[in-house]
Amino acid sequence: MYNSDLVIVEKVIGEPAPKRKHTSEGAVFLISIVTAVLVSLMVLWISGGLVSSKAERFSNVKQAGCDLRIISFYDRYGERLNSPWRIKDRIYNAGTQSCVVESVQVNPKGPFPIGPGDVFEKEWIVERVPTLVGIDLSVGLTNTTLEKTHIQLFGEQ
């Protein structure tokens, strides 16, 4: 090794200097882009921009002499990203007799009759994206005991 041109010897006093990590400009740029995309996706998710702008749920209730077709759906009420949401429930009596329906979530005023071939509609506006919620629905023919069933409708979070 002595007197060789191929060996380089460096004299170090104390601890050797730590190796430096060099971060390239490309890596910093890539990390910045990924962070910006993730933040944008989180903002869109929270504001409802990544959620479907409309959805519907169908339920069929054949109980206590009633034959009801129930549709619950929601959509955006406006065009803007921060527009409110509209929820609409429709109950159609497909049976041949008048049916009494009771549910605090559907009509807080109390039980109400729906004649054969008639439709009951309820619509309201909410600020946040609606979700499916389970509700209790009592149904029955006029002047009979109502029977309870459980269905899912769209509602507030």
Full 3-state SS string of 41-57: HHHHHHHCCCCCCEEEE
Count of the separate structural domains present in the chain: 1
Query: Which pLDDT band, with edges at 50, 70 and 90, does 74 fall under?
Result: very high
* CATH code, domain carrying 85: 2.60.40
Residues in Cβ contact with 86 at an 8 Å cutoff, skipping those fewer than 6 apart: 74, 75, 76, 77, 123, 124, 125
Residue 30 belongs to a domain: no
Range of the domain at 104: 54-155
Residue 49 belongs to a domain: no
Asked if residue 108 has pLDDT above 90, the reply is no
Percent of the chain exceeding pLDDT 90 equals 46
Residue 23 belongs to a domain: no
In a 10 Å sphere around its CB, with 0-12 CB exposed, 13-18 middle and 19+ buried, how is residue 15 labelled? exposed
Residue 120 belongs to a domain: yes
Residue 5's pLDDT is 66
Residue 85 belongs to a domain: yes
Residue 128's pLDDT is 86
Residue 16's pLDDT is 67
Average pLDDT value for residue range 67-87:
88
Residue 13 belongs to a domain: no
Residue 46 belongs to a domain: no
Name the average pLDDT for the chain: 85
Residue 47 belongs to a domain: no
Burial pattern 27-49, b for ≥16 Cβ within 10 A else e, equals eeeeeeeeeeeeeeeeeeeeebe
Residue 58's pLDDT is 95
